[in-house]
Structure 1
Amino acid sequence: MSSSHSIPSHFCLLFDCDGTLVDSEILLADVMGEIFPELGLPFSAQQYMEEFRGVRFHTIVHTLEHRFHKLTEEALTQLESGMRTRMEARMRAELVAIPGIPDALAQLKSYPKAVVSNGPERKIRCALESTQLEGHFQGQLFSAYTLNVWKPDPELYRKAAAAMGFAPQHCIVIDDAAVGVEAGLAAGMQVIHLNHFPNEESTPEGAVGIHHANELPVVIAGLMESSR
């Protein structure tokens, strides 16, 4: 590995999962576009991508209930169980890594790193196993469902950093969704925004925008250089 891509041991990389490491967003959008209408809540895959990308599942449900009608407890249980089951099946059959991520992680192998996601731990593990990325993280997975705090709350990233043994200012967040970028910035961390939709989304002030994962090693090296 090139020395220009090495990192001081006192820095840690915190990766989002869906849309950052794995190309799961369109699968999730399709599944939600199928299952919400089955229970009388109008919804489409395009709506997920435009309005709810990266947002907590329960927040999406509550928003739709407010717009249309409230679900019974039985229907809510059926909705979440059905969504999780269908999504896992789609992931195991179809999920791939975000282009450039496997090579970028290989170049960044000496960096301490973790996955920090709004999704359940089972979903995170399924995503990493399905794309053969789990070895890069050595079991360092932090789920909002386990820690009971969801992005854009910065506490999710702060708790992950503390568990990894790093101060916020010694962490770099890599996230594709607005809620994750907002959380990382509010946590006092350096943030790289993997912007898949540059014509539709802008990178918030304070974050570094990139358009392809293959840019990560060079951008991270530049952040490290500027922090010295």
Structure 2
Amino acid sequence: MPIPLCLLFDSDGTLVDSEIILAEVMGELLPTFDLPFSAQQYIEEFRGVRFRTIIDKLGKHHGILGEESYSEMEREMRHLTEQRMRAELLPIDCIPEALESLVKYPKAVVSNGPERKVRCAMESTGLSKHFGDNFYSAYNLGIWKPDPGLYLKAAESMEQPPERCVVIDDAIVGVAAGLAAGMQVIHFNRFPKKEKTPEGAIVIHHASELPKTVALLAAKIECS
């Protein structure tokens, strides 16, 4: 029997509907540190981007934060986000059913977020059972998407060659990372009117499309 492909999932916006929570928390918190920001700005410009990168870009226009202020802001942001996630977070529509259909495939969550946040998201939505202990955080590995190294490190840890890995990511930074890593990439494009799927990635618009797309990829790879 052929070895199943390894599925590497992003977390925020791919598995769980956490981006609106993060956007709202940042939209409320950042202005208290004299950084004008809105939830809409996060959704339109910064989905999937490392928090530090966002703050540094804002700082170029509104003033660089000192390290003490940055640390205070990040602690508060993480605390408020976790509180809301535990109370409100839901999986993306049809993701639980899709994961049940993909039970034979080894899986991991590969995120630009801290591991604590990823585990909180999976526990709060009941998705942890699909991933075992396969959680790979940019904060632990020191590599952030769009650098392909984060997905490559996850594949190495999963003992899978890049060409047998499938990245499922909703953010352009994650799609770019997967393509640069030489992996198959499924762009879960939930905002097709605003985002264009990069060349080389396969596009889906709803999680219900995922099992069939993975099966077609698996058949294509086995025949090549």
Give TM class, smaller chain.
over 0.9
Shift of 1:152: 0.1
TM-score scaled by length of structure 1:
0.96
Indicate whether 1:65 and 2:59 are aligned. Answer: yes
Q: Deviations over 1:2-31 (max 9, x none)?
A: xxxxx9425200000000000000000000
* d(CA) in 1 for partners of 2:161, 2:220: 18
Indicate whether 1:33 and 2:27 are aligned. Answer: yes
Report SS of the residue matched to 1:199.
Answer: coil
* d(CA) in 1 for partners of 2:159, 2:152: 10
* Percent of residue pairs identical: 61
Indicate whether 1:181 and 2:175 are aligned. Answer: yes
Shift of 1:169: 0.3
Unaligned runs of 5+ in 1: 1-6
* d(CA) in 1 for partners of 2:87, 2:126: 13
Report SS of the residue matched to 1:182.
Answer: helix
1:10–1:166 CA contact under 8 A, matched in 2: no
Indicate whether 1:169 and 2:148 are aligned. Answer: no
* d(CA) in 1 for partners of 2:161, 2:73: 39
Tell me the residue number matched to 1:76. Answer: 70
* d(CA) in 1 for partners of 2:56, 2:204: 32
Shift of 1:74: 1.9
Q: CA RMSD in A?
A: 0.9
Q: Deviations over 1:146-168 (max 9, x none)?
A: 00000000000000000000010
Q: Deviations over 1:182-208 (max 9, x none)?
A: 000000000000000111111111000
Tell me the residue number matched to 1:21. Answer: 15
* d(CA) in 2 for partners of 1:9, 1:195: 28
Amino acid at match of 1:182: A
2:25–2:80 CA contact under 8 A, matched in 1: yes
Amino acid at match of 2:144: W
* d(CA) in 1 for partners of 2:113, 2:38: 20
1:9–1:112 CA contact under 8 A, matched in 2: no
Shift of 1:224: 0.8
Tell me the residue number matched to 2:195. Answer: 201
Tell me the residue number matched to 1:212. Answer: 206
Tell me the residue number matched to 2:141. Answer: 147
Report SS of the residue matched to 1:23.
Answer: coil
* d(CA) in 2 for partners of 1:71, 1:172: 38
Report SS of the residue matched to 1:116.
Answer: strand
Tell me the residue number matched to 2:99. Answer: 105
Q: Deviations over 1:52-72 (max 9, x none)?
A: 000000000111111111112
Amino acid at match of 2:19: E
2:16–2:90 CA contact under 8 A, matched in 1: yes
Tell me the residue number matched to 1:45. Answer: 39
* d(CA) in 1 for partners of 2:120, 2:2: 31
* d(CA) in 2 for partners of 1:130, 1:8: 34
* d(CA) in 1 for partners of 2:149, 2:30: 30
TM-score scaled by length of structure 2:
0.97
The correspondence of residues 83-122 of structure 1 with structure 2, limited to 5 A, is 83-122=77-116
2:86–2:120 CA contact under 8 A, matched in 1: yes
Amino acid at match of 1:76: Y
Report SS of the residue matched to 1:160.
Answer: helix
2:4–2:218 CA contact under 8 A, matched in 1: no
